[in-house]
Chain A
């Protein structure tokens, strides 16, 4: 891992010119890009952990700089609150342990770095880092060190660690996962042993095996096979019993009959010393079947892990103003109505309340999807979760966190999720008929052969059950889905639920949110008008210089490369900004702010400029489209009907819709409006894929047939989606749809092969040509072919 000399030694980002953040690493002087990276590098060198730089395979994440870090460390103390810890900390006698999610892990060396660093901290008795899931487990002695101190140790070497509590179903998944590994390992080891013994029979490797030795081998095989039948195979019997209790049949039933039938017939043969023994076939059969179940389970397990990681436990904190005017950091959920809290500029408002002191701009994008902040004065309502952008505010709490608007949206999201339309499981229905057919054919065969007096009737029946074993059939779907998910993960697309890919192929309508999904949410100048074109450049730089004094997001659209000196700049909240240049008064703002009438042809501009009572320029601003948006939308337009549902004003929405050539556009929608538009689409036989990012999109995403979020979406939103695009743009969306279609084709091919093989081999089994071990071998080969076919998806490339 080499970092070029002009880039930061720690994080690999380009160094700004004239930096002198330097320290010695491996006897060389290395340059860092910021004080944050410098502090982290120094901490690593100081603790003798420089090996990290030697063996890492990717540069580290950029460290937080001093001020940001200070603010973060202040917030950490909140994690020491006992009532908060009750949710995610486990007591283990004298010690406590916690699960943390980590941000900033880039390669395996990070895991080593963290473990080594923490092992030197007094009070931490055990810690382990899991790089692939980006999680850590820490056990500590609460009398020596506090949880917030531990989190600070992570920050010192450049990682962000936050406690989280794994979802309940993930824990169940993990237990099943471990049981599968054990069952599979046992079956694998035993299969090898039993195979070894039976190969002696197959090929006469031990010379002439006499009667006693054959009997001895059979007894040994029986001993080795027993744990496989009763431990590894238990999954199938339990599955079969569950299906029978629910008055149905599933693939587990013929499997169970074949395994137990062969096993008990084998015992009988060993005891009376006469008859066929097929213990090695049982072991191999169980092993291959379990492999397919394991693959399927792992695909689902990975998906839940990804989902859980985004559920970080971030408690909202608040600065409570006490009776003696001191402030104290408390948990937002402890706040009660009529208490007063201080919200600093740049902080999130913790709960719903009323402003009692201060005037500020509040960004309510999480509720409305609208990035333009709203100005709020004393007496006006503010909502928990919104962002205070400009001035410190004192707020009187009116609702507890439980009753706040954010939690109401969360409940809307939950109820939408539970009403999601379910796609019927085709494979399950298919297997019902298949199993009935198999059971019917084998029963008929058994009685027919018995009627004709064939001694081998039982073994022929077992051969049928094994030969038609739905092992390859069972592998057909999970193996294809797992490889497709791995392929997408490489491209930066995370699939949270395995069945999502199947649903994507059914989608015929795509709905986009505007701000933050199609566009960046930042303003840029679309076009301009000047009263006198010759002064164009001068006006531009005057406007940019004055706008520099404003915090309003619109001001950021005006790029100021060469500031000129303007005087007496004053911000008028909700209207605009004014300033003086060379004795003339300039006013920049909306139509209400202009001192004179505005010519009709520029009336629809966003920002006007006047000089001494005369309009001299107008600017039309738009929300800039993200890179690749145009290409992606035009590529999708061929196959899908598209629409936009946005919380933004009509003017902005229709502009974007026109640029992208999207016919259907809804504007000014609140979360519940979005939800009802979507349900309407669904009731008119549309299968809808929804792309969104904000918290206001969460309920509608939960309702959509397939929900996709982009990388800049809030964690809350990511929770209710099926697909997460890790990048902020939509470039991988066509790959997602193409690969979903390809995966469906692969699954079909797999089904055809598996069924074809089973049907082909059935006559041979019925005629009694096929012995059980041949049937087991053929079934294994058939499974391998299916797995190979699925693996081809890993190399999938999109055309053009």
Chain B
């Protein structure tokens, strides 16, 4: 059971890190728009225009 004397302080440190991260997130407006960021994963970051539409433009 003595391991608990080590585990609990570690847990406290992890919680402290979580709180720092949370405060940082609030400060940087991460909680301002909960609707949009959920969709971000759907988008590719760099879509190259398909060759066909390039061609169409040249026509």
Taking Cβ atoms with an 8 Å cutoff, the residues of A that contact B are 23-27, 45-46, 48-51, 54-55, 108-109, 111-112, 116, 128-133, 178, 181-182, 185-186, 189-190, 193, 197, 206-207, 213, 216, 220, 223-224
Contacts and interface: CB of A to CB of B under 8 A. Distances in A.
Contacts of A186: 19, 22
21 contacts: A26-B50, A27-B53, A50-B49, A51-B43, A55-B39, A109-B39, A129-B33, A129-B36, A130-B32, A131-B33, A132-B36, A182-B22, A185-B22, A186-B19, A197-B8, A206-B1, A206-B4, A207-B1, A216-B8, A220-B8, A224-B12
A24 B31 CA distance: 38
A50 B31 CA distance: 28
Contact of B56 (A23, A55, A213): A23
B18 to A, nearest CB: 6
A193 B11 contact: yes
A50 B40 contact: no
Contact of A189 (B19, B32, B33, B48): B19
A54 B33 CA distance: 22
A111 B33 CA distance: 11
Nearest to B9: A220
Given A108-B38, A186-B19, 8 more contacts: A23-B56, A27-B52, A49-B47, A51-B43, A108-B35, A181-B26, A182-B22, A189-B18
Q: Which 4 A-B pairs have the closest CB atoms?
A: A108-B39, A131-B36, A24-B56, A130-B33
B23 A182 contact: yes
A48 B48 contact: yes
Instruction: Name the prevailing secondary structure of the B interface residues.
Output: helix
A173 to B, nearest CB: 13
A133 B33 contact: yes
A668 to B, nearest CB: 48
B50 A27 contact: yes
Contacts of A190: 15
Contacts of B26: 178, 181-182, 185
Q: Which of under 10, 10 to 19, 20 to 34, or 35 or more describes the interface residues of B?
A: 35 or more
Contacts of B39: 55, 108-109, 111-112
A132 B34 contact: yes
Contact of B40 (A23, A26, A112, A216): A112
Contacts of A197: 8
B35 A132 contact: yes
A111 B35 CA distance: 10
A55 B36 contact: no
Contacts of A109: 39, 43
A62 B7 CA distance: 60
Nearest to A181: B26
A291 B36 CA distance: 24
Nearest to A23: B56
Contacts of B42: 51, 54-55
A223 B40 CA distance: 39
A53 to B, nearest CB: 11
A152 B32 CA distance: 26
A130 B30 CA distance: 11
B4 A213 contact: yes
B5 to A, nearest CB: 7
Nearest to A128: B29
A130 B56 contact: no
A215 to B, nearest CB: 12
Contacts of A23: 56
Contact of A51 (B27, B35, B47, B53): B47
Contact of B19 (A108, A185, A206): A185
B35 A45 contact: no
Nearest to A45: B53
A26 B49 CA distance: 9
B57 A46 contact: yes
Contacts of A189: 15, 18-19, 22
